[in-house]
């Protein structure tokens, strides 16, 4: 079972330290997904993100891709469990940008604010999971941890139930939630009415039996 781990402080590396770490990183890579250091000090590389989504996602059709308005050419479905995606990013890309890139790659129409990126570390037979802030840089974390996913892996999840950001949902989605709540309320109300109607019938039958002559 995952346990929560406090976020580690960000240690800023000099350009020379970054160069040395990238050389060490590339020497340990086994899947050819190496990092590249540019002359301006920005480096690029790859990260793998496991998709652990419990709720269905809304995917745009080819006709509606690129539009900013809701379309009836959208389909909701569940992603296969354990689906892993590889992204090529730079050291300047933030967690929020990585989430947006992942959703864009899958043509997901849902608001990025519904999702959170986690880092998962394996230490001493324990699994530590920590939600990353939007301002953190995943490629830096990958560089520091090295290429082995056993040391560090990334996971995309929905925000936890207690952290639902209602402003991230579209008006049609919120209206649909209200319709569902109205239906549930009416169903529960009808159940109560039927229950009390049955009680009333039994009481009236009992009263008629008591008042019956003879």
Contact present, 44 and 90 (Cβ < 8 Å): yes
**Interval 29-49: pLDDT, tens:** 988 899 999 999 999 999 999
Closest CA to 139 of 106, 95, 104: 95
H or E element that contains 185: helix 171-211
Position 3 pLDDT exceeds 50: no
pLDDT score at 17: 92
Which of these CATH numbers, 3.10.20.90, 3.40.30.10, 3.40.50.300, 3.40.630.10, describes 15-60+70-161?
Answer: 3.10.20.90
Segment 95-103 mean pLDDT: 93
Q: Regarding predicted confidence, which is higher, 155 or 4?
A: 155
pLDDT score at 9: 54
Segment 48-72 mean pLDDT: 67
63 confidence band (pLDDT: 50, 70, 90): very low
Q: Three-state DSSP class for 209?
A: helix
State the sign of the Cα–Cα–Cα–Cα dihedral 6, 11, 17, 18: positive
Question: Which residues touch 214 (CB under 8 Å, ≥6 apart)?
Answer: none
Q: Within 10 A of 23 (CB to CB), how many other CB atoms are there?
A: 11
pLDDT score at 50: 92
Question: Which residues touch 5 (CB under 8 Å, ≥6 apart)?
Answer: 121, 128, 129, 130
User: What percent of the chain is modeled with pLDDT above 90?
Assistant: 33
Position 206 pLDDT exceeds 90: no
Segment 117-133 mean pLDDT: 85
pLDDT score at 140: 94
Least trusted range by pLDDT, from 2-16, 44-58, 59-73, 98-112: 59-73
pLDDT score at 6: 44
Contact present, 128 and 3 (Cβ < 8 Å): yes
The structure's pTM equals 0.66
> How far is Cα 26 from Cα 6, in angstroms, rounded to an integer?
28
Percent of the chain as helix, strand, coil, to the nearest 5 = 40, 25, 35
């Amino acid at each position: 079972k995952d346990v929560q781990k406090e976020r580690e402080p960000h240690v800023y590396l000099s350009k020379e330290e970054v160069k040395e770490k990238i050389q060490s990183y590339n020497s340990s890579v086994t899947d050819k997904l190496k990092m590249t250091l540019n002359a301006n000090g920005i480096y690029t590389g790859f990260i793998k993100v496991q998709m652990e989504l419990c709720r269905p996602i809304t995917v745009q059709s080819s006709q509606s891709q690129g539009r900013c308005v809701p379309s009836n050419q959208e389909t909701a479905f569940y992603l296969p469990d354990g689906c892993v995606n590889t992204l090529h990013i730079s050291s300047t890309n933030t967690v929020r940008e990585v989430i947006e890139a992942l959703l864009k790659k899958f043509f997901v129409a849902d608001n990025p604010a519904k999702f959170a990126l986690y880092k998962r570390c394996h230490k001493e037979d324990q699994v530590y999971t920590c939600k990353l802030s939007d301002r953190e840089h995943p490629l830096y974390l990958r560089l520091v941890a090295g290429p082995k996913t056993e040391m560090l892996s990334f996971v995309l999840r929905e925000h936890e139930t207690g952290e639902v950001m209602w402003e991230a949902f579209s008006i049609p989605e919120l209206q649909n939630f209200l319709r569902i709540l109205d239906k549930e309320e009416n169903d529960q109300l009808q159940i109560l009415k039927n229950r009390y109607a049955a009680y009333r019938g039994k009481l009236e039958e009992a009263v008629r039996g008591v008042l019956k002559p003879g």
